[in-house]
Amino acid sequence: MIKLKTAEEIERMKRGGEILSRTLSLIAKACVPGANTEDLDKIARDEFEKVQGKPSFLNYQIHSSDPPYPSAVCISINDEVVHGPATPNRVIQDGDVVKMDIGLWYEGMATDMACTVLVGNVPEAARELSAETRRALEMAIETIHDGSWMHEIGKTIQNYLEPEGYGIVRDLVGHGVGHGVHEEPQIPHFHDRRMPPVKLKAGMCIAIEPMVTLGDWRIAQKDDGWTIITQDGSLAAHWEVTVAVTDSGYELITPWPTTK
């Protein structure tokens, strides 16, 4: 069931989104050669504690039988696409392509966002991958307004990226957010004709998060039970924002972070 948000709930989400974006910007700037993933995670936890917010990923479980997620930030490096835990600690290296995914509970509402950080001397192809992934997301959210069709989001991303030879991860999707970390609807980042048609309505809050590779789109999971990697070992990029659907378009709930 898709849950619409009231104007007051959206205002609370915007306040949380500002905090989330500011926090993501802090850890992105601290993501330099020699940085420790556990230290980056602590920055986020400390920032949330200052405002009495709660990290929405820490101790998260998809199923009750799953081990709780061990960190506040997902830090995924190079061929890791998403869900890489910050602990046990890893050291960031020059040339790493680091995806940071972060979520926050604030004033009873959840927000979600992610960015790709290019550390030091990364290959030009990786820079283009990140830039094009973000550009595809920017184009996709421009299609959003009350009465638009959800499949236009994925169609826009696919039509922009696939002609350039990029792989769009198909087994992971965007989602509704607000009353829960993950809500309906699921939002593919390609035109999935198997999905039922969904018309967007004012008051819907959705997290759109294309995950894109330099190679094949197929993915696998590491033995830690969380980290998703590309099957072919190719580099991946990930960008995500939370937006609210409005009568005339959309409102950005999580401002774009500063990553340099």
Q: With respect to residue 144, please indicate whether it lies within any of the assigned structural domains.
A: yes
pLDDT above 70 covers a percentage of the chain that reads 100
Is this prediction's pTM over 0.75?
yes
The pLDDT assigned to 255 comes to 98
Q: What pLDDT sits at residue 260?
A: 76
pLDDT band at residue 66 under the 50/70/90 scheme:
confident
Convert the pLDDT of each residue in 207-221 to its tens digit.
999 999 999 999 999
The alpha-helical segments, DSSP class H, found in the chain are 7-30, 37-50, 124-141, 151-161
Residue 258 lies in a domain: no
Question: What amino acid is encoded at 109 in this protein?
Answer: M
* Domain span including residue 225: 7-252
The tally of domains found in the chain comes to 1
What per-residue confidence (pLDDT) applies to 63? 81
Residue 78: pLDDT over 90? yes
Residue 2 belongs to a domain: no
Cα 215 to Cα 79, 126, 150, 156, 247, distances in angstroms: 10, 11, 26, 20, 38
Distance of CA 249 to the CA centre of its chain: 21
Is 260 domain-assigned? no
User: String of b and e for 86-125 (b: at least 16 CB within 10 Å)?
Assistant: beeebebeeebbbbbbbbbebeebbbbbbbbbbbeebeee
Q: How far is 152 from 131, CA to CA, in rounded Å? A: 21
